[in-house]
Structure 1
Amino acid sequence: MNGAIVLCALLALIAVASAAHCGTLQRIKVKMQWAQAYSAGIDRGLFGNSLWTNIFNYAPPARDLFKSVNSQDMQSPDFKAHITRVIGGLDRVISMLDNEATLDADLGHLKSQHDSRNIDPANFVVFKQALMATVPGVIGVCFDFPAWEACYNVIARGITGSDIFA
């Protein structure tokens, strides 16, 4: 009996430890769940609108960061194009999660683009909150929060260089 309890405790500890990082299993799971959430066609536009609505609900001042792309009118062609660019970039890096060398190269490229804009890493925290609300809203109870959190942190750290995502 004591051996079974120890074994269960050990297995639980291993499960918690493996969920706390963005390992191979977590990367594949995030990719699969992303493909389901991001979907195709018109659903991608709806997903993007939901994500950015969540971003602006969590942090209304964030809208000012995107004045140059007409963030006051989320239906404007400029802002819709911005949504498409951002989510397209996210789609690209999520698709590379299981190819670390390519992922690291792309994150380095994105870092150089974001560094030149002097973006506060705290904005990536808001993006994370919005993403963690939007994706489960599409895929439901199968959403793996620990896997998403760990893998998003890999992406955000790669783009920002900030230790808040370590």
Structure 2
Amino acid sequence: RCTVLSRRCPEVERQRDVMKTAVVLLLAAMVAYASAKECDKLTRLKIKGQWNRAYSSGEDREHFAEAVWRAIFAQAPEARNLFTRVGGDDTGSPKFHAHANRVFAGFDIAIKLLDQPDALKAQLDHLAQQHASRNIPDNYYDVFRSALLHVLPAQLGRCYDREAWIACFNLVAN
């Protein structure tokens, strides 16, 4: 007859195995939940720090912006048509550089305001209004995100946290 104290009882061993499996699955679910990224306060601080490093200053800033725009136009060559007013056909032109600087200045402000929800909302409303008046299709937010997520690792190396960037970019884009 099998009892809980029996060492070689198949029924008891099966119950123990089921319990062990349940505990492992529960722990795995807890780890997955804990590691799922949200753009919470700590993640926002991380993004701000990574952005400061990636966007830096001077020529590095210009090279970073150029790399993102090259990635945008590589993914969506037709997007150049949206930038004819600012010299989108020649991304090396001073006119386009000025435009690129304006775009990244707006994004820079949004990143800096990640931990200030009211000010961030005002900035994002302003940017949304600018894009709406220029009839920029929504799919280009995804193109910009993809380009940014492509260029950031080259700037940040091992410090880059893709999941954090996706979470916070989605907060900004939505």
Fold conserved between structures, TM > 0.5: yes
The structural deviation recorded for 1:142 is: 2.1
- Write the deviation string for residues 87-127 of structure 1: whole angstroms up to 9, x where unpaired: 11111000000111110111111111111112111011000
Aligned to 2:143: 126
Tell me whether 1:13 sits opposite 2:13 in the alignment.
Answer: no
Give SS of 1:61's match. helix
Q: What is the distance in 2 between the residues matched to 1:16 and 1:139?
A: 21
Question: Among residues 120, 126, 133, which one is paired with 1:103 in the alignment?
Answer: 120
**TM-score normalized by the length of structure 1:** 0.86
Shift of 1:14: 2.8
Equivalent runs, 1:43-62 vs 2, <5 Å: 43-62=60-79
Q: CA RMSD in A?
A: 1.7
Question: Could you tell me which residue of structure 1 aligns to residue 164 of structure 2?
Answer: 147
Report which of the two structures shows the higher radius of gyration computed on alpha carbons: 2
Residue 33 of structure 1 and its aligned partner are, at CA, apart by: 0.6
The separation in 2 between residues aligned to 1:96 and 1:67, in whole angstroms, is 30
State the alpha-carbon separation in 2 of the partners of residues 111 and 63 from structure 1: 20
> Is there any run of 5+ residues in structure 2 with no aligned partner, and where?
1-18
Aligned residue in 1 for 2:83: 66
Aligned partners of 1:133, 1:83: CA distance in 2, in Å? 17
CA distance in 2, matches of 1:93, 1:132: 17
When structure 1 is superposed on structure 2, of 22-31 and 90-99 the one drifting more is 22-31
Q: Residues of 1 paired with 2:23 and 2:159: CA distance?
A: 29
CA deviations over 1:136-160 (Å, ceiling 9, x no partner):
1111122111110111111111xxx
**CA drift at 1:11:** 4.0
Aligned length: 155
Residue identity over aligned pairs, in percent, reads: 43
Partner of 1:77: 94
Deviations 1:28-78 (A, max 9, x none): 111111111001111001101111011111111111111111111111111
Q: State the distance in 2 between where 1:32 and 1:5 align.
A: 35
Q: Residue 120 of structure 1: SS of its match in structure 2?
A: coil
Structure 1 stretches of at least 4 aligned residues deviating more than 2 Å after TM superposition:
1-11, 13-17
User: Structure 1: which amino acid aligns with 2:32?
Assistant: L
